[in-house]
Amino acid sequence: MSPTHEPRWLTPEELRAWLRLQAVVELLPATLDAQLGRDSGLTHYEYLLLAMLSETPGRTLRMSQLASATNATLPRLSHVVKRLEARGLVTRHPCTDDRRATLARLTDAGWDTVVASAPGHVETVRRHVMDVLTPAQVEQLSTIAAAVGRSLDPEGRLYALTGD
Amino acid sequence: MSPTHEPRWLTPEELRAWLRLQAVVELLPATLDAQLGRDSGLTHYEYLLLAMLSETPGRTLRMSQLASATNATLPRLSHVVKRLEARGLVTRHPCTDDRRATLARLTDAGWDTVVASAPGHVETVRRHVMDVLTPAQVEQLSTIAAAVGRSLDPEGRLYALTGD
DNA sequence: GCGGGGTTGTTGTAGAATCAACTACCTGCC
DNA sequence: GGCAGGTAGTTGATTCTACAACAACCCCGC
């Protein structure tokens, strides 16, 4: 921090927007985790991981790619994949091209889990987000989240932002 | 994904908005935690807690009120306050009116911590959120976050949504 | 006043995220 | 060839969170 630099405070409108955003950021993961945990025994992050693999040709991705795709750090991903492997939802294979790399592949059981979990998860997203917004607001949200996401991830390696 | 019966799936626009929102929800807390932890030795949640107390007349709040104000559960709050008390930033007092209740009060050291941390925190919020949006988008965000927040917290006991 | 039922808050513990090493590997350069 | 420096991933220790049980207390009806 530069100590002599006077910070620009937030305007009342900005402060209100910030407090509301903060509430969403705090409550949304808790809500998703609760629904997925109750109905499918999955964490929100675990679901996201499996879903990303399920949408990839070959259902296989390098750890580093999977980390980017799920907005996570490599250490975190490593632990989660290890747990999912122990549960038989994912397998790990060494990569022949680059022997440092590890490939994570979705098993049939993992696929079945995603397929079984998706409807309930989508329904939750719909109820708490999409259904309370107008189509115009969904577009606004998309634009706003893209802008904020870019500033949070300057390297722009996020899968989720594909389509800019 | 091809389950036999999909409920109401997301449209392409909704899916894109959802993936982007998901990225923000994942990355924003990490960014705030990193900045506050590095510069002030605080968690984002700890900062929020101290900030809420600092804005209250008497710098004192009941645990249950503080939990609502920070969008947290009571058990979580209890643990965090215990840690902050051990660090001398907060004190706990029994409430004379209702002897079940506990009052949390910000100490002078806690106040100093908030004052010292606020500029860096605000600067981070500004850089990653406000400065990448137009004033109109800030208003849109405010409206959208309020709607989503209400659906996530049906009982509407959130401090953060005050001002609807 | 005295139980029953609903609050208010704390604690213990088990699960998950974070951070800092550390290993193994690749690439480029001498 | 062999070494320096960077990349990929894993592991272990610590910290934080969530969930469930629990204790203390208020309030209301009788």
Q: The CATH number of the domain where B142 resides is what? A: 1.10.10.10
Q: What is the rounded average pLDDT for all residues in chain B? A: 90
Nearest residue of A to residue B137, measured between CA atoms: A144
Residues of B in contact with A161 (CB under 8 A): 19-20, 23
In a domain, A98, yes or no: yes
List pLDDT tens digits, range B112-124: 999 999 999 999 9
In a domain, A132, yes or no: no
pLDDT at A7: 64
A23/chain B closest Cα distance in angstroms: 6
For chain B, residues with pLDDT lower than 70 are 1-7, 154-164
In a domain, B16, yes or no: no
CB contact under 8 A, B123 and A7: yes
**What ipTM was reported for this prediction?**
0.89
Q: How far apart are CA A76 and CA A67, in angstroms?
A: 9
List pLDDT tens digits, range A129-139: 999 999 999 99
Residue A60 sits at φ, ψ, to 5 deg, of: -135, 140
CA of B33: nearest nucleotide by C1' is: C18
The percent of residues in chain A predicted with pLDDT above 90, rounded, is 84
Q: Which domain holds residue A40?
A: 27-116
Number of independent structural domains in chain B: 1
Helices (H), chain B: 12-40, 44-54, 63-69, 74-86, 108-128, 135-152
Q: How far apart are CA A69 and CA B104, in angstroms?
A: 41
In a domain, B162, yes or no: no
* Alpha carbon B55 to chain centroid, angstroms: 14
In a domain, A86, yes or no: yes
In a domain, A146, yes or no: no
* Cβ neighbours for A68, distance < 8 A, ≥ 6 positions apart: A157, A158, A159
In a domain, B60, yes or no: yes
Both structure tokens of B58: 């008497």
In a domain, A68, yes or no: yes
Q: How far apart are CA A45 and CA A51, in angstroms?
A: 10
CB contact under 8 A, B145 and A21: yes
Residue pointed to by tokens 């960014």: B31
CB contact under 8 A, A1 and B119: yes
